Amino acid sequence: MHTLYHHPMSASSRYIRLILAEYSQTIELLEEKPWERRMKFLQINPAGDVPVLMIDEGQFICGGVTIGEYLDETNGAMQREKRLLSEKSLERAEIRRLVDWFLNKFNSEVTGYLTHERVFKNFMSVEAGGGAPNSNIIRAARANLKNHMKYVSALAASRDWIAGNKISAADMAACAAISVLDYLGEIQWEDEPAAKDWFARMKSRPSYRPLLLDKVITLPPASHYTDLDF
């Protein structure tokens, strides 16, 4: 059984947890607080970020995109219809584009800012950058969120799933990023019915159930977070 260093408010960590669950792989979860910059963890991953997958004692794979590719090669290729990357080159390229969009662009412009300001700073020392949230940063992230959710809705309205006619790693990446914001109550779902319908289908999948149990000390989830028919 592999071990995953993760944080419940990390979109990339959730992405890997969803993939592992879709592939029916059990995993030991070790919560890591990236802002603490533990020396032992930095020796594993000098970037200091989660997720990190330990596949064997002393063997580590770092980063959501890279771990996802590894899991496709070692698990997905044997999953046939359940594989989360397409066998077709163009379809695979589109899935990878969207995985990158959600785990990097979406995270760097929305999720990362909101989790840092609303969650992580509560646990950080003043010397490390903790303290009160910056309202200007939150305002900018929320403006970005509105534009990005319109794109999510456009994808959901024009396709059966985020990347095409079959569920894929792109849905896992989108769900991972959006689920963190759903926990924080940041998304105005009534404004994006197509995205809401897609996300409701994702929330109903068995792979999503463990995410419903995620909790952050002093910050309970939004009231609708565990409601599959929100």
- For residue 222, give the DSSP letter: P
Same domain membership, residue 36 and residue 140: no
The model's pTM: 0.96
Last residue of some domain: 37, 66, 82?
82
User: How high is the pLDDT of residue 47?
Assistant: 96
Q: Reply yes or no on whether the pLDDT at 229 is more than 80.
A: no
Same domain membership, residue 93 and residue 78: no
Same domain membership, residue 96 and residue 36: no
Q: Is-cis flag, bond preceding 51, omega within 30?
A: yes
Assign residue 130 the CATH number of its domain: 1.20.1050.10
pLDDT digits 0-9 by tens, 38-97 = 999 999 999 999 999 999 878 999 999 999 999 999 999 898 889 999 999 999 999 999
Same domain membership, residue 208 and residue 103: yes
169-183 helix and 11-22 helix, angle to the nearest 10 degrees? 130
Q: What is the mean pLDDT of residues 102-128?
A: 95
Domain tally, the chain: 2
DSSP alpha helices (H): ranges in the chain? Answer: 11-22, 39-44, 64-74, 89-100, 112-118, 135-158, 169-183, 193-203, 209-212
Last residue of some domain: 20, 51, 82?
82
Same domain membership, residue 63 and residue 149: no
Provide the residue range defining the domain that includes 11. Answer: 2-82
Last residue of some domain: 35, 50, 82?
82
Handedness of CA 28, 217, 104, 150 (dihedral sign): positive
Confidence class for position 218, pLDDT limits 50, 70, 90: confident
Mean pLDDT of the chain: 95
Beta 27-31 vs 2-6: how paired, if at all? Answer: parallel
Give me the residue label for tokens 């991972």: 176
User: How high is the pLDDT of residue 131?
Assistant: 92
User: How high is the pLDDT of residue 122?
Assistant: 92
Same domain membership, residue 124 and residue 198: yes
